[in-house]
Structure 1
């Protein structure tokens, strides 16, 4: 521990609630004495300075001890707020809590925090939030997650200390914790209006969700961008390990400052010992890293963003969180794009900044701008072509059974009725088979996959939601994997999300969002969609460890030769198959481009077609499927 962090351990008292505004109690701007925000055309205006904004670095003592050194960890965060807050202006907070500010860094241009003159205050602030929102009457906090940058302790990769890091600062903002500056002086948030919003992409997005599900008072809204909501699903899928052994401890190492990595090795070793890599099963370790199960505790609204083709934080993270938000009637909006792991600032910049501005104005400044009266969902149908919908899955969606049909020398078929006679098709698990080999040439018989194709469609067929594969099969080993892929066979121009850049191209030109200081500007490189014409599109996919067919918590070995039901979801999608295209369902054993570990069993699998199907969430249900020619 450093000298400063040690002196804070003594004599910390909780500030009285009177030290800050209570959530919801801030008077409207027009009733404030002294400086106030200015609202014009339904949004706050940039009437405050940026170069002269107040900048602070503060530290709070946490409620946890991640490194087990007998002392509670210190959480550091940087604050920027309008100068007018020193004269009575009350403002809300926009917070981005992150583990990345000194290692991986943030945004498409990998911006790090930077103290250029060594005075202990930031001169360069990553991302545009400070440049844009501080002049409009907001404070911005960039918080260092436990064990990263200026915070003490050690990262636990979405464990409890990570999850509670941002809560420590929100408690300070609302008078329930003490913050000190580097000199050890107590600093009060007497400028705060009681409302805080959190935002962030990927890990930062997960920290926003993690904070919200604590139910902390004072967190008014969150904007998670492509964040893991179930960390089990980030490293596993239905019992199959999808990222390498010890991934959790490896990521903890990545986000730790190099000078502290040796110190934090015992914490990483404990993570590696508890993660269950030997089985891939769900356990208490993963339950600690689940935010979906605690959605009922959320008191904030949610603006959720995800790329439908994100193969890093896969789309089942947004869908499970979204379904839970709907169940508990949490105020919410959703954006779904065609890109991969891309921030909306780099996908639909102008509209996103406008939406974010109005969202924060409504929830944090209580500006009545009608944003919650607008359609709940924005969805990108094709490159830069967006639609709005009342909800997601799109209203009118019905789960529709589509049955696998036997082939006659080539691919099998798809039909709304099951086969009448018992029929079995056989394939061999090949742990080395690549994804392109699985989905290319669907009419060609291959020994390591089964392919089922519809006839060319007569009308568009729209799926919206989570497809489920239901297979009846037997294997000649006590274990095997199953993989399923839904494919659109038809030539079209599409967002090239599988190429470099995850669907975008970064240009040399810049545009600017907000005000500047001598050391920090709000200018960022522009982007454009990467598109390509292709003969097919991998629409969605899923995998299952056969031993986890009953539960992801417990493995049940197979009896060789015995038929079992294997039901598992594919990743959620919203996709329109066009007329003339064919729908393909590919069934495999191992799926090495989805799983990080080769399946050693090399089982031979018999698929009983009479009881095997894919359940598609079709907009319009069976009637729409018939109209399309299924």
Structure 2
């Protein structure tokens, strides 16, 4: 086990003492040992009497011969070794498993625990050591001070609210007294065309102290899933993927012909206001919360949720990534920052403001939630100070399409924009409301199905409207981006393109890349993600001068070959390229001649197996020998003479022919070599083991671990339609058996390849997990003289 902390703020001694006094944890003592025991007495908030404290001391080992109670009675002087022997136990590390008393300082360093330079002979040394210990993470992923807070440390005190320690908001708010209220924000939209502006249901949780004059910032999550989903309706709409790839009529289409140009639409007048109030008339029992928001609720932030247009309790229809959905998102931000109206309910016309808000907003959430945060940021909306976008889409075309091909998000073949709109149109849950909306929504769904164009897979105006990248220049909010390098749902290209587009935008930006799939990382002990975000939001929303902009790494990446290991990087993408040329079975640094033909069509039984067992196809396509021989090209480099790190986007250039006048290319880059690899799905370490506050909600503790020995792992992949060799919006001609040159930019990565491993390249047609599956009689031929792959090496 090793912890990695990036939000531990260096602090001078005077400030340490001031902050320790703020939490009622400092009384000046005569000796260093007395000072230590004075601090230790605060470490057991459950204990009410002195005798109980001694009993707790008996449970802790101070040296190989003495427990802490006996050590106290012995009148010995505290040493650095004894301090950190006790400290590791307080941090929940286990003797004999995580550390040994005989090697305590070395073990402390291995665990990633911050240690002071002093010998602890002076009170000042002990003050520094204890201050940093309070900010050090436990084995389960909380800072020690957060652990104490969860056990009632602040319940016996009366701290300032909000309270900041080491630049981070502390869990001093009583979550049992949270105010829960509903308002209806009036958006400048009429997506259901009923002649009235769309009202958006918004659920708010805020500290009770706001009634006493405290003004708090908001963490806002826009989630179309928040009011329920329609999985059965979505399943009925799923598109058939066992259909043939078809030839497209060539054209000379330019981007300007399909570019989305917003058209200003007339919207109904604002509603009549019949009065104002500061008290909501609706409440709710339990929101569909996001754990990071729960974490901040205990620390003096309001949590705000809205599902947006076309969801239960709101007006409008679902439009899946359109401009209207972005406007619905920004309308809530405008209300929170005092620039838009809301009402207590849908009929009375009683206006209510966000009077409790300090008018500063952060957006949070993963996937669709993070996507809407990105969309809102590209408008430059006032009041949005920062977003924390996790696994967010930056271009919906890259989610459901790729280079002229219909491409499913990993694990969801047949899904498309219209399916997602159907699944999230939660107005369907209220039968009376749905009766009034069904005909209109069904009509709009048919229009969406046509406009999304599953026939050609080309980039068109529908998709250009849902591409946020051209508007990145408008961003004013600072951004933290989190993404999995093994996320084949929202693929790594989304965050890479956003990161690249932000380079010339004058905002703060941070990037965290993990080795997982489509997951959250806030409950992983190996990294202080919650602390980092606490530091970030305390800085951005409360204005705390904690230097979070400088303290947090610009790029933080998890290593793929070592557990619990994270690394700071300066840039994503290397200018240094290593080029390998394709050959019969080997990728070589010298050009090779020859050709290789592979057949896309499979025997009916094999095809049927793969359509129902994509995992088997994924394994077979990478096997050096097996049932996919002759149905794909596979070549490997010689064993690597040293470790190689790939950092960026591999580029595959092929000279290829199809036996018919259409076709597609899929490709995977593969790490071949027997080794234990980090799992892409974190293991559950402890159910409900991570408390988010005192008598508040908990999260499961999870962590990436090294799995069983395996022979290979896919590093990255890519796809292209051979008739979209130049642009995704332009269809090129293709003749049967005509060799054409095509360039495929694979999904970006950061990946360590061990010495002795081989880099493999797999090229094929049908991708059973992502493309259409026509099982057509198509043969593809590679010409090695015009085929190469360039790898960005670090």
Q: Please give the range of the TM-score, normalised by the shorter of the 2 chains.
A: 0.7 to 0.9
Among 114, 128, 147, which residue is 2:310 paired with? 147
User: What secondary structure is seen at the aligned counterpart in 1 of 2:481?
Assistant: strand
Alpha-carbon contact 2:486-2:517 (below 8 Å) kept: yes
Pairwise CA distance, 1:424: 2.1
Among 121, 125, 136, which residue is 2:283 paired with? 121
Q: Which residue of 1 aligns with 2:667?
A: 484
Q: Which residue of 2 aligns with 1:543?
A: 719
Alpha-carbon contact 1:427-1:449 (below 8 Å) kept: yes
Query: In the alignment, is residue 305 of structure 1 matched against residue 444 of structure 2?
Result: no
1:123 and 1:445 map into 2 onto residues whose CA distance is: 54
User: What secondary structure is seen at the aligned counterpart in 2 of 1:326?
Assistant: helix
Query: In the alignment, is residue 417 of structure 1 matched against residue 417 of structure 2?
Result: no
Q: Which residue of 1 aligns with 2:578?
A: 400
Q: Which residue of 2 aligns with 1:272?
A: 449
Pairwise CA distance, 1:482: 0.5
1:80 and 1:266 map into 2 onto residues whose CA distance is: 37
Pairwise CA distance, 1:397: 4.5
Query: In the alignment, is residue 56 of structure 1 matched against residue 181 of structure 2?
Result: yes
Q: Which is helix-richer, 1 or 2?
A: 2
2:450 and 2:781 map into 1 onto residues whose CA distance is: 37
Pairwise CA distance, 1:167: 0.5
Pairwise CA distance, 1:162: 1.6
User: What secondary structure is seen at the aligned counterpart in 2 of 1:471?
Assistant: strand
Alpha-carbon contact 1:75-1:165 (below 8 Å) kept: yes
Give the alignment of 1:23-422 within 5 angstroms.
37-104=162-229, 120-125=282-287, 126-182=289-345, 184-243=349-408, 244=413, 247-257=416-426, 258-259=428-429, 260=434, 262=438, 264-348=441-525, 351-374=528-551, 375-382=553-560, 384-393=563-572, 397-405=575-583, 407=584, 411=585, 413-419=586-592, 422=593
Pairwise CA distance, 1:438: 1.8
Among 597, 616, 620, which residue is 1:426 paired with? 597
Alpha-carbon contact 2:391-2:482 (below 8 Å) kept: yes
User: What secondary structure is seen at the aligned counterpart in 1 of 2:162?
Assistant: coil
User: What secondary structure is seen at the aligned counterpart in 2 of 1:100?
Assistant: coil
Alpha-carbon contact 2:654-2:741 (below 8 Å) kept: yes
1:527 and 1:161 map into 2 onto residues whose CA distance is: 37
The 3 A distance-change label for structure 1 pair 443 and 252 is closer
Q: Which residue of 1 aligns with 2:692?
A: 513
Q: Deviations over 1:10-51 (max 9, x none)?
A: xxxxxxxxxxxxxxxxxxxx9xxxx86322222122333322
Q: Which is strand-richer, 1 or 2?
A: 1
Q: Which residue of 1 aligns with 2:95?
A: none
2:425 and 2:523 map into 1 onto residues whose CA distance is: 27
1:541 and 1:227 map into 2 onto residues whose CA distance is: 19
User: What secondary structure is seen at the aligned counterpart in 1 of 2:565?
Assistant: strand
Give the alignment of 1:554-565 within 5 angstroms.
554-565=730-741
1:131 and 1:540 map into 2 onto residues whose CA distance is: 35
Pairwise CA distance, 1:388: 2.6
1:254 and 1:546 map into 2 onto residues whose CA distance is: 33
Pairwise CA distance, 1:83: 2.2
Q: Deviations over 1:39-68 (max 9, x none)?
A: 222212233332223322111111112222
The 3 A distance-change label for structure 1 pair 556 and 601 is farther
User: What secondary structure is seen at the aligned counterpart in 2 of 1:294?
Assistant: helix
The 3 A distance-change label for structure 1 pair 99 and 511 is same
Q: TM-score, normalised to structure 2's length?
A: 0.67
The 3 A distance-change label for structure 1 pair 208 and 349 is farther
User: What secondary structure is seen at the aligned counterpart in 2 of 1:415?
Assistant: coil
1:282 and 1:184 map into 2 onto residues whose CA distance is: 44
Q: Which moved more, 1:601-610 or 1:74-83?
A: 601-610
Q: Which residue of 2 aligns with 1:116?
A: none
User: What secondary structure is seen at the aligned counterpart in 2 of 1:385?
Assistant: coil
Q: Which residue of 2 aligns with 1:111?
A: none
- Which structure is larger by alpha-carbon Rg, 1 or 2? 2
Pairwise CA distance, 1:442: 5.8
Pairwise CA distance, 1:330: 3.3
User: What secondary structure is seen at the aligned counterpart in 1 of 2:438?
Assistant: coil
Q: Which residue of 1 aligns with 2:699?
A: 524
Pairwise CA distance, 1:294: 1.1
Pairwise CA distance, 1:306: 0.8
The 3 A distance-change label for structure 1 pair 580 and 104 is farther
2:601 and 2:546 map into 1 onto residues whose CA distance is: 57
Q: Which residue of 1 aligns with 2:755?
A: 579
Pairwise CA distance, 1:150: 1.9
User: What secondary structure is seen at the aligned counterpart in 2 of 1:199?
Assistant: strand
Among 590, 599, 602, which residue is 2:777 paired with? 602
User: What secondary structure is seen at the aligned counterpart in 1 of 2:185?
Assistant: strand
Q: TM-score, normalised to structure 1's length?
A: 0.83
Query: In the alignment, is residue 615 of structure 1 matched against residue 784 of structure 2?
Result: no
1:440 and 1:503 map into 2 onto residues whose CA distance is: 26
Q: Deviations over 1:407-442 (max 9, x none)?
A: 3xxx2x2223323xx422222223647332221126
Alpha-carbon contact 2:624-2:634 (below 8 Å) kept: no
2:558 and 2:686 map into 1 onto residues whose CA distance is: 21
Q: Which residue of 2 aligns with 1:27?
A: none
2:636 and 2:627 map into 1 onto residues whose CA distance is: 12
1:133 and 1:268 map into 2 onto residues whose CA distance is: 38
Pairwise CA distance, 1:295: 0.7
Query: How many residues align structurally?
Result: 558
The 3 A distance-change label for structure 1 pair 173 and 548 is same
